[in-house]
Amino acid sequence: MTLTLLPLGTGDAFSATRHSCASALIHESAAGRAVLVIDCPHPLRKMLREASAISGIPLDVPDLSACVLTHLHADHASGVEGYLWYSLFVVGSVGTLAVHDDVRQRLWEGHLAGGMETLRSEDGGVQRLTLDAVARCVRLDDHAPTSIGPFTVELRRTLHHIPTFAVRVRVGGASVAFSADTAWDPSLVAWLLEADLAVHETGHGGGGHTPLDRLAALPAEDRARMRLTHFADDLDVSSLPITHLEAGRPVVITPRRR
């Protein structure tokens, strides 16, 4: 069994030309294959195609076991409608969303219903849909782990503008964690670093994102087990104190000695 992290995008909400919005796949392969996607910006299929071309790992919507949504800001969730419609109409089955109750509470009425609540049939009839008609929802808990296929998923609430959850995923003996969007939170960093690899956002600071200088001040051994994502187009990645993720460039994760 191998655990591979494949970034689909590394940009923030305001990326213009350099980066797609931050999202990543966790790919496990043993006798079969399972793929978990963390967050779902638009255009998901284009991001999958581009990451496939760079990595040599063929990927499309039918390969996705589930999509974990950390929160509902557009740069993290704008691709959910496309993911669900493509799953339903092209793949022929409903897509799987893994969400905390606080995210699901607004997922339909506050995010998806405007584009998905009605469906016109060929005879002119109109069907009114619900979230359960277009998605299989797996309930994630921030107090107990959840199994999704071979993956064990844990959540931790972050310091952000709306309900947002960091994600820690384990499969076999290897693990990877994602900060999602968050203000600087040393206790969250410690939780992330319990995994073999920690992926942390860096943004413009303020009340909802983590300034790079906070992460740069971490001990060298912590920074060595961390990767950066969710950064602005103008960030100079040539001299970063922490290695950054690159879209389409796989990172193979191996268990560290405890």
Query: DSSP string spanning 119-180?
Result: EE-TTS-EEEP-HHHHEEEEEE-SSS-EEETTEEEEEEE-SSSS--EEEEEEETTEEEEE--
Report the pLDDT value the prediction gives residue 17, as an integer from 0 to 100.
62
**pTM score:** 0.94
Q: In the chain, what are the domains?
A: 2-253 (3.60.15.10)
What's the mean pLDDT in 178-193? Answer: 97
The pLDDT of residue 37 is 97
Indicate the SS3 state at residue 252.
strand
**Other CB atoms within 10 Å distance of the CB of residue 44:** 26
pLDDT tens digit sequence for 105-124? 999 999 999 999 999 988 88
Task: Give the alpha-carbon dihedral of 132, 138, 142, 148, to 10 degrees.
Answer: -170
**pLDDT score of 205:** 64
What average pLDDT is seen over the chain?
A: 93
pLDDT confidence bin for 31, thresholds 50/70/90 = very low
- What is the C-alpha separation between 63 and 59, in angstroms, rounded? 6
Q: Element (H or E) spanning 4, and its range?
A: strand 2-9
More confidently predicted of 16 and 194: 194
What is the model's pLDDT at position 1?
A: 60
**Which has more pLDDT, 70 or 32?**
70
The torsion angle over the Cα atoms of residues 50, 108, 206 and 231, rounded to 10 degrees, is 0
Q: Which residue has the tokens 């405007």?
A: 114
Strand order of the sheet with strand 226-229?
A: 146-148, 151-157, 165-171, 174-178, 197-201, 226-229
Q: pLDDT for 150-179, tens place per residue?
A: 999 999 999 999 999 999 999 988 999 999
67: its two tokens: 């999509």
E strand map for 179-250: 197-201, 226-229
How confident is residue 19, by pLDDT bands cut at 50, 70 and 90?
A: confident
Which of these ranges, 34-43, 115-124, 187-196, has the smallest mean pLDDT? Answer: 115-124
